[in-house]
Amino acid sequence: MNNAKILIIEDDAPIADLLSYGLSMEGFQTRIASSGAAGMREIELFQPDLLLLDWMLPDQSGLDICKKVTSKYNIPIFMITAKSDITDKVLGLEFGADDYITKPFDLREVIARIRTILRRLEQSSLKDQHDLHTEVIRFHNIEIHVEERVVNKKGQPIELTPKEYDLLMTLVKNPGRTFTRSDLLDVVWGYHFVGDTRTVDTHIQRLRKKLDATDYIATIFGIGYKFKKMGD
């Protein structure tokens, strides 16, 4: 996906220009927005394949942008932040970011991580197209339309963030299998997360609440979680 479109939401002009230049040299299409409001407008106009999002913006927090984007779009978000505290990093992931990097950063690492995110997204899309026999997955009063990434409860659409959906599908497609929190971070977020695993617990809690699925997404105490097989 060298021709992928990347929207850079960053108010520090030298950093934004550096990112835009480096990504353009790698074949990506780029556009820059210097505020959260401008970024939200550019999402509609530019329709990017990925967001490079600064945590600290002049008009609103990057976390607020994360919430808005994940509630409305299925766009991967790569956060750039000066915050190095592990709690802040976990918070960014919980709000829907797919990856993050702290300033100062190496442009080569940014480009490599972007390629990883886009490659994973492309592979996921190809797999969904290939597995058309699993177009609709049903359990209890839930329907998952795999190709459209749509989840309905009692016929009504349920808003899930991209990470909540990916977490749900990881569990549902492996009924009876127990995943550790580290397993889920590796599968859903795409890399081994060193540090606090509370982000998995938070996403599980949100899924249970949104889907009323406490009886289906089981906690395996001291280990992790599993999706119960029908009849268990």
Q: What is the CATH number of the domain that holds 59?
A: 3.40.50.2300
Q: Is residue 4 within a helix (H) or strand (E), and if so which, with residue range?
A: none
Give the pairing of strands 179-180 and 224-227.
antiparallel
Strand partners, 138: 143
Q: In what order do the strands lie in the sheet with 224-227?
A: 179-180, 224-227, 217-220
Asked if residue 31 and residue 94 are part of one domain, the reply reads yes
Asked if residue 83 and residue 188 are part of one domain, the reply reads no
- Report the SS3 class of residue 134: helix
Mean confidence (pLDDT) of the chain? 84
> Which pLDDT value is given to residue 232?
52
Asked if residue 186 and residue 82 are part of one domain, the reply reads no
Pairwise CA distance, residues 42 & 64, whole Å: 16
Cα angle: 145, vertex 149, 154; to 5 degrees: 50
> Which pLDDT value is given to residue 9?
96
Query: What is the band of 140 on the pLDDT scale with cuts at 50, 70, 90?
Result: confident
Domain count, the chain: 2
Asked if residue 56 and residue 83 are part of one domain, the reply reads yes
Asked if residue 192 and residue 91 are part of one domain, the reply reads no
> Which pLDDT value is given to residue 197?
74
Range 34-62 average pLDDT: 92
Q: Is residue 91 part of a domain?
A: yes
Q: Is residue 72 part of a domain?
A: yes
Query: What is the band of 123 on the pLDDT scale with cuts at 50, 70, 90?
Result: low
Domain-terminating residue out of 87, 106, 128:
128
Range of the domain at 71: 5-128
Query: What is the band of 129 on the pLDDT scale with cuts at 50, 70, 90?
Result: low
Pairwise CA distance, residues 58 & 28, whole Å: 26
Whether the CB-CB separation of 153 and 211 falls below 8 Å is answered with yes
Asked if residue 145 and residue 117 are part of one domain, the reply reads no
Question: What tokens were used for 94?
Answer: 């919980």
Q: What is the pTM of this model?
A: 0.59
The predicted-structure confidence for 168-179, as pLDDT tens digits, reads as follows 999 998 988 999
